[in-house]
Amino acid sequence: MRAFDYVAATRVDDAVAMLGAGTRCLAGGTNLVDLMKGGIEAPSRIVDINRLPLDAIEATPDGGLRVGALVRNSDLANDMRVRRDYPLLSLALLAGATPQLRNMASVGGNLLQRTRCYYFADTAFPACNKRAPGSGCGARAGHNRIHAVLGASEACVAVHPSDMCVALAALDATVVARSRRGERRIAMTAFHRLPGDTPWQDTELADDELVTAVELPPPRYRRHVQYLKLRDRASYAFALVSAAVALDVEGGRVASARIALGGVAHKPWRATDAERALAGQAAGATAFDDAGRRALAGAVPLRDNAFKIGLGERAVSRALTLAMERSVS
Amino acid sequence: MNRVIGAALDRTDGVQKVTGGARYAAEFALPGLCHAVIVQSTIARGRVAALDASRAAHAPGVLLVMTHENAPRLPQGGRAGVNPPAGRVLTLLQDADVHYNGQPIAVVVADTFEQAQAAADLVRATYAADAATLDFDAARATAYPPAKLLQGPVDLHRGHFDTGYAAADVRIDATYTTPMQHHNPMEPHATIAHWQDGTLTLHDATQYVSGVRETIAKVLGIDAAKVRVISPFVGGGFGCKGSMWSHVALAAMCARAVDRPVKLVLARWQMFGPAGGRPRTEQRIALGATRDGTLTAIRHAVISHTSAIEDFVEPSSVPTRMLYACPNANTTQRLVKLDVGTPTFQRAPGEATGTFAFEVAMDELAYALAMDPVELRMRNHADADPQDGKPWTSKHLLECYDSAATRFGWRNRDPLPGSMRTRDAWVGYGMATATYPAHRQAAQASARLWTDGTFIVASGSQELGTGTYTVMTQVAAQSLGVPPASVRFLLGDTALPRAPVSGGSTTAASVAPAVKAACDALRARILAAVVRDPQSAHYGVAPSELAIDDGRIVAADGRSESLAAFAGRRGVPLDAAAESKPGDEKTTYAAHSFGAVFAEVRIDPWIGRIRIPRIVGTYDVGTRLNARTALSQLRGGIVWGVGLALTEESLLDLATGHFANASLAEYHVPVNADIGELDVTFVDFPDTRFNPLGIRGIGEIGITGVAAAIDNAVFHACGVRVRDLPITVDKYLPQARA
């Protein structure tokens, strides 16, 4: 870890005033501190934002929910309004990490979590376009069992690691960001980027912007939801594939559906084609299997991860099936 | 008094451990302590062309940057310690050569750890890299026989394999592979080196204090009497702390150079490479049997990898030589050299990987014969050691099969793969035989009666979390006839009587007899002194008429006095010491532990999610010294078996020679949620032919057989035979769909 300046901010405007290239915000620190220890992140200045008043969960005028960026993952997952109105989000949060990590990790930090690609996370590897632009991609010819099958580029095959973000993408959440230029709102589905030829940019957030909140639209999917996470051990492992699904069902037919996948792409992968195809269909195995196939359409395997395509299809259809079986708690 | 040996006594160090009172190697706060961080090579083979340490040397707090250019020259280029007890080929900054990715190329010493780490990041190396050999598959053609094998001949040829194989009615021939693994104890390697007046004190996380003492003395070219190694608690070893690795010597070299105590703790990612790991194995097994299941031929050809600088053999074929009766057996061990850090002993080296391959092959044979896998094993039970016909010291494997099969409900198994289903899972039952050899070495112990009637009993052994403090306290208390609470056991210090390595499941069977002998001798001295004490109630009585029971000296006629009263009157301590060593029992007998392990797996047919709701094992391990710690040892071993079967694999990057998943987030050891019910029992036959207490060690047998039992259960569940560990979803789900 390199030496850095440390500033603790108490007002949002003060924090925002300090942001820029070379500065990182410290919230729970569950990802950033590890990356700093490993030399992957080497900020010259840390702005500790833990004292900012961004830890509230509040109703919005339109009937949605505004979640402050500093709300801890465990608090969000167990908030009664979230459990009642956005159970998909609660399920996804509880599938991630461990209780200790969830107690520390913030919503804003979770949005900005960096990939678990082996070649990014270890500076002993010379090649990583995300960490060292232009150095190449160690994963393309290396160990790529955990890597992307959708939306990857020649430059980068890394996947986004968050569970929470997959649910937020499915739920059409909005990220609220502040900078000295003011506040802007970014749709969750547009917040994370595909790698293209600029894989070092994980998100649309600029260096001088601070995530202040995530907003959820008025609740629509309270009952038929599921977050299914498939991984190499029963807990404390990142998803090989995960599926966040939500169904609005009327009279046995799907009125509307939301489907997003984790572990398959550089961002939470919203399967809009599958969603559209499901609308109007009888809620059952035929439609769900078809949705699974559509969700993975266009997938391109690497040497070690072809299994993710079939597994992703099945995760989607199983999640839809489980969503139908789920009773309201 | 009730028997103390075998009781489920609480760990005597339990309170210390859970309250933070137990001090581990890195936790000795010596005055003037400074901190060292190792800089590692990022190439696998070649030379350091240039090393720019100038920025590091001028960084805040830095006391020393040691490189191959300024490191003190050691005897024999740093290779003086390569021989046993704990010696390995080390990389100690004696030249510019690089033999593996992760090799130490510099050590930075600073006032604080943070300063040392920050400065280490400033060291810049450029290399003249040579083409490295990293691909096991590509290197296979260069496989060669090692010069020696610790466990016997490199190759075994018994009878005539070809004749037996030709005579078989049923044959199987398959190749099994196991991956590179790393031990990952909770406590990383850690050393504090401290020189005072030419004497070196090491606080070291080690499984072998006296081995480290002798090895470091040879490496540095000093008298072993000038070295003291202290290690009261070790946070898990599993074999990686059985040898002395480079960081120990580097810490000592740095401490001498800066003339201050130096602490060197490996980061988690530094545990992958420079300090050993389980080598990859490729094991081809051919079995032949007659229609009734009698084995007629066994072939087990093992290739494992080693480093460019040293041969280490993973002896996977060794258990195959003795596990079943078969007149014709042919086993071989070959090595391929890769440009990686030298692999080493990892929990049940040979047995863990070997029983996976061989016991899966036995399951394949059982299916080929349409015979029950338990029946096949009982049919081929070895009544004597098949290698030389020696009788066993004690063997009750048949009882283990019976006991475990009954508790498991094996008879409810429909052998047809895929035939047992619940609403949402394929159910699989699998089993395997477990085995591990019994080892014993010479050990010394001392015992002292203090004037307050309490005892100090000591042996320079180690506590790896295994329960050494507790079980030796029990052995001493029973011998002395006193409550365990009046005995304090000391270990982990070369100033104490010498004990062997805590590896190879050796400690209990070696140290306990020495502790018993020392305490027996002290008890005799106490009684001899009591009868000469005019103030004693037993004055003038024959010592043979006296016993010590529950802390009182008791005569045959019922008169008694407290030991504390005698000790207080005496006013000076009373001492005894003893050595205990194996006799000629191994020339007459073969000594092994055995077990039978059964696993149930459930696989979701749609998404492949695998769960192991229960594992049932029964073990024949001789006397258990403590019912609680014995259970923990076996359960822990089984958990390791689950990791071997399902999750653990070190991913070697073939472009760089660097391990890709060198963290506990990405190297998956099982978590609690992966472990279901573990039903472990013992058959409890003391093995008094092996040692007076009837003990065989139990640190390793738990891992053996488990991966095979799980693999066999996976086949039974879904009809896919996975021959390559770990068993991950990509290796059975796509195949099972067809």
CATH 3.30.365.10 in chain B, residues?
Answer: 32-131+186-236+241-271, 363-439+589-737, 442-581
Find the mean pLDDT for residues B31-52.
98
Q: Using CA coordinates, name the residue in chain B closest to A118.
A: B660
Say whether pLDDT at B476 is over 80: yes
Distance in Å, alpha carbon of B722 to nearest chain A alpha carbon: 16
Say whether pLDDT at B84 is over 80: no
Among 3.30.70.1140, 1.20.1050.10, 3.20.20.450, 3.30.365.10, name the CATH number for the domain at B363-439+589-737.
3.30.365.10
Catalytic (active-site) positions of B = 700
Q: Which of A199, A180, A90 is nearest to A137 (CA)?
A: A199
Q: Return the DSSP state at B225.
A: G
Residue B2: pLDDT band (50, 70, 90) is low
Assigned CATH topology for domain B32-131+186-236+241-271? Aldehyde Oxidoreductase; domain 4 (3.30.365)
| ipTM value greater than 0.90 | yes
Instruction: Give the pLDDT confidence score for residue B86 in this predicted structure.
Output: 73
Find the mean pLDDT for residues B174-200.
98
Q: Residue A165 in 3-state DSSP? A: helix
Say whether pLDDT at A135 is over 90: yes
Q: Which of B220, B212, B243 is nearest to B341 (CA)?
A: B243
Say whether pLDDT at B1 is over 70: no
Find the mean pLDDT for residues A98-117.
98
Alpha-carbon B6 to chain mean position: 22
Instruction: Give the pLDDT confidence score for residue A295 in this predicted structure.
Output: 98
Find the mean pLDDT for residues B621-632.
97
Q: Where are the domains of chain A?
A: 224-325
- Pairwise CB contact (< 8 Å): A235 & B673: yes
Instruction: Give the pLDDT confidence score for residue B738 in this predicted structure.
Output: 52
How high is the mean pLDDT of chain A? Answer: 97
DSSP A67-95: EETT-BHHHHHH-HHHHHH-HHHHHHHHT
- Pairwise CB contact (< 8 Å): A310 & B734: yes
Distance in Å, alpha carbon of A166 to nearest chain B alpha carbon: 19
Q: Residue B463 in 3-state DSSP? A: coil
B-chain residues near A138 (CB < 8 A)? 653, 655-656
Q: Return the DSSP state at B412.
A: G
Instruction: Give the pLDDT confidence score for residue A326 in this predicted structure.
Output: 87
Length of chain A: 329
Say whether pLDDT at A2 is over 90: no
- For the beta sheet containing B34-40, the strands, ordered from the edge strand earlier in sequence to the opposite edge, are B62-67, B104-110, B34-40, B262-265, B190-196, B199-204, B227-230
Give the pLDDT confidence of B85-101 residue by residue, as tens digits. 778 999 999 999 999 99
Q: How many CB atoms lie within 10 A of CB B324?
A: 21
* Residue ranges in chain A assigned as alpha helix (H): 12-18, 32-37, 73-78, 80-85, 87-94, 99-104, 107-111, 138-141, 164-170, 188-191, 272-278, 285-295, 307-325
User: What percent of chain A has pLDDT above 90?
Assistant: 98
Write phi, then psi, for B229 (nearest 5 degrees): -115, 130
- Pairwise CB contact (< 8 Å): B658 & A315: no
Find the mean pLDDT for residues B506-531.
98
> Across the strands, what pairs with B156?
B331
Q: Whole-angstrom Cα distance, residue A208 to residue A286?
A: 48
Q: Using CA coordinates, name the residue in chain A closest to B643.
A: A233
Find the mean pLDDT for residues B415-419.
97
How high is the mean pLDDT of chain B? Answer: 97
- Extract the tokens encoding B641: 């078996």
Q: CA-CA-CA-CA torsion for A245, A250, A252, A253, nearest 10 degrees?
A: -70
Find the mean pLDDT for residues B487-493.
98
Find the mean pLDDT for residues B526-544.
96
Give the pLDDT confidence of B42-78 residue by residue, as tens digits. 999 999 999 999 999 999 999 999 999 999 999 999 9
Contact A156, A199 (CB under 8 A): yes
Q: Whole-angstrom Cα distance, residue B193 to residue B406?
A: 54
Contact A67, A57 (CB under 8 A): yes
Taking an 8 Å Cβ-Cβ cutoff, which residues of chain B contact chain A?
40, 42, 101-102, 114, 117-118, 121, 269, 606-609, 611, 646-647, 651, 653-656, 658, 660-663, 665-666, 668, 670-674, 728-730, 733-734, 737
Contact B279, B82 (CB under 8 A): no
B-chain residues near A232 (CB < 8 A)? 647, 668, 728-729
Instruction: Give the pLDDT confidence score for residue B518 in this predicted structure.
Output: 98
Instruction: Give the pLDDT confidence score for residue A328 in this predicted structure.
Output: 60
Assigned CATH topology for domain B442-581? Aldehyde Oxidoreductase; domain 4 (3.30.365)
Q: Using CA coordinates, name the residue in chain A closest to B119.
A: A2
User: Counting one residue from A and one from B, how many pairs have CB atoms under 8 Å apart?
Assistant: 97
Find the mean pLDDT for residues B609-617.
98
Contact B541, B555 (CB under 8 A): yes
Q: Which of A127, A142, A238 is the closest to B660 by Cβ? A: A142
Residue B652: pLDDT band (50, 70, 90) is very high
Length of chain B: 738
- Extract the tokens encoding B523: 């008890």
Contact B696, B622 (CB under 8 A): yes
- Pairwise CB contact (< 8 Å): B728 & A232: yes
Q: Which of B114, B655, B661 is the closest to A138 by Cβ? A: B655
Say whether pLDDT at B654 is over 70: yes
Residue B203: pLDDT band (50, 70, 90) is very high
Q: Whole-angstrom Cα distance, residue B589 to residue B686?
A: 15
Instruction: Give the pLDDT confidence score for residue A9 in this predicted structure.
Output: 98
Tokens 């009868």 map to which residue? B531
Q: CA-CA-CA-CA torsion for A33, A37, A41, A42, nearest 10 degrees?
A: 110
Say whether pLDDT at B412 is over 80: yes
Say whether pLDDT at A329 is over 60: no
Q: Which residues does B617 contact at the CB level (< 8 Å), separation at least 6?
A: B404, B434, B595, B596, B597, B598, B634, B638, B678, B679, B680, B681, B702
Which H helix or E strand runs over B254?
helix B246-258
ω before B274 within 30° of 0 (cis)? no
Q: Whole-angstrom Cα distance, residue B12 to residue B35?
A: 32
Find the mean pLDDT for residues B143-149.
96
Q: Which of B307, B400, B298, B404 is nearest to B358 (CA)?
A: B298
Contact B92, B71 (CB under 8 A): yes
Q: Whole-angstrom Cα distance, residue B98 to residue B274?
A: 12
Residue A27: pLDDT band (50, 70, 90) is very high
Say whether pLDDT at B402 is over 80: yes
User: What percent of chain B has pLDDT above 70?
Assistant: 99
Say whether pLDDT at B737 is over 80: no
Q: Which residues does B647 contact at the CB level (< 8 Å), separation at least 6?
A: A232, A233, B668, B669, B670, B674, B726
Residue A1: pLDDT band (50, 70, 90) is confident
- For the beta sheet containing B546-549, the strands, ordered from the edge strand earlier in sequence to the opposite edge, are B546-549, B552-555, B560-562
**Domain spanning A224-325: CATH superfamily:** CO dehydrogenase flavoprotein, C-terminal domain (3.30.390.50)
Tell me how far CA of residue A123 lies from CA of A127, B45, B121, B660, in angstroms. Answer: 9, 18, 11, 11
Q: At what angle do helices A307-325 and A285-295 cross, to 10 degrees?
A: 140
Q: Using CA coordinates, name the residue in chain A closest to B732.
A: A307
Contact B276, B246 (CB under 8 A): no
Q: Whole-angstrom Cα distance, residue B177 to residue B162?
A: 24
Residue A3: pLDDT band (50, 70, 90) is confident
Say whether pLDDT at A111 is over 80: yes
Give the pLDDT confidence of B660-682 residue by residue, as tens digits. 999 999 999 999 999 999 999 99
Distance in Å, alpha carbon of A97 to nearest chain B alpha carbon: 10
Give the pLDDT confidence of B204-214 residue by residue, as tens digits. 999 999 999 99
Q: Residue B292 in 3-state DSSP? A: coil
Find the mean pLDDT for residues B268-287.
97
Q: Using CA coordinates, name the residue in chain A closest to B652.
A: A143
B-chain residues near A234 (CB < 8 A)? 611, 671, 673-674
Alpha-carbon B602 to chain mean position: 30
Q: Whole-angstrom Cα distance, residue B727 to residue B657?
A: 24
- Extract the tokens encoding B267: 């980061």
